[in-house]
Amino acid sequence: MDLISTLRYEAKRRAEEEAAAARAAEATARLLEGRIALVTGAGHGIGRGHALELAKHGATVIVNDLGTSVRGEGSGRDAEEVVEIIEKRGGSAVPDFGDVGDEEQARAMVERAHADFGRLDILVNNAGIVRDRAIWNMPADDYDLVMRVHVRGTWLTCRAAAQRWREAAKSSANGKVYGRIINTTSGAGLWGNFGQTNYATAKAAIVGLTLTLNLELATIGVTANVIGPAGVTRLSATVPGMPEPVEADQRPEDEFDPMDPSLCCPIVAWLASPEAAHVSGQVVRVRSGDIILMGGWTEDAVVPSGGKRWDAASLGTVFATDVFRTRATGLRMGT
């Protein structure tokens, strides 16, 4: 091959590679192109990461954050900072300062999406606070407030979105709409954690809520899933010995930190996309970047009653040998 042919070959190869890269970049950008998303608790941490990731993939994001402390005190304009970051990166976003635990304000978030953008496609519930204490030291108000933000707040926004989607489905040609709900649990909600009877209860309740949403909204085409992030956030940083949290926009694009909670954000973006239309009622953990599908409750042991009422006095042996299997059963005829 002479020099001219070689140069032409190399130029053609580079052009093909650049075209392929451009097509790949365009496909990535279109993952959520034109979609309208509401992300609650998006002023910091995981929620901020979600908002940035959804905007990166083409969604217009309503960035909700009341601007409170991690204990749910005060208010602020944190959502505006996230909107500025998104807009500087070429994305589209608007701030929202509503309180997810307030019925009218939660409804207003969803109504704003319809009023300003014509619809809501994606709802990501991330808003949360912590008020950690062992149960013997925890005031009832601390329990109530954590439940209000996590459980009531998630339920209120889901209800407002579901009502709108159901009405839209009635006038749809196929009786279905585009709707994605991604709610948030945590390791505390799945396994429990000392000092968090309020927070762990709330995060477990959100799983039950989402599994039920999956059933109730399936016929209209709406999916409902749970994301379980792990890493250092403003909330987890309240635990003694934990490092200071780093915001998603403060990290280099190519950095990989196993304690980065925004490692779960691409999974949320995918769950919100058309590609995930077949995925619903799932709980997905992301720890150190690893994707972990949670199996949920299973029947580890079943002991037939034989059609008779149990005698409490005889249950010690049953639980030891057939339920917990802490004692060998010994030889049983026919087994």
Task: List active site positions.
Answer: 186, 199, 203
Q: What is the 3-state secondary structure (H, E, C) of 298-317?
A: CCCCCCCCCCCCCCHHHHHH
3-state SS class at 88: helix
Nearest CA to 47 out of 24, 66, 22 is that of 66
Token pair recorded at residue 102: 């307030």
> Cβ contacts of residue 12 below 8 Å, gap of 6+?
none
- Two structure tokens written together for 144: 């109530």
CB atoms within 10 A of CB 243: 9
Helices and strands in the chain: count of H runs, count of E runs: 10, 8
Beta-carbon contacts of 106 under 8 Å, excluding residues fewer than 6 positions away, are: 98, 99, 100, 153, 156, 157, 160
Of 116, 213, 114, 107, the residue nearest 157 (C-alpha): 107
Specify the 3-state DSSP secondary structure of 95.
strand
Residues 6+ apart with CB under 8 A from 107: 156, 160
Q: For residue 24, what is the enclosing H or E element?
A: helix 3-29
Nearest to 114 by CA among 152, 155, 161: 161
C-beta of residue 28 within 8 angstroms of C-beta of residue 98: no
Residue 48 CA, distance from chain mean position:
12
Residues 6+ away with beta carbon under 8 Å from 122: 32, 35, 36, 37, 38, 54, 59, 179, 180, 182, 272
Amino acid identity, position 224: A
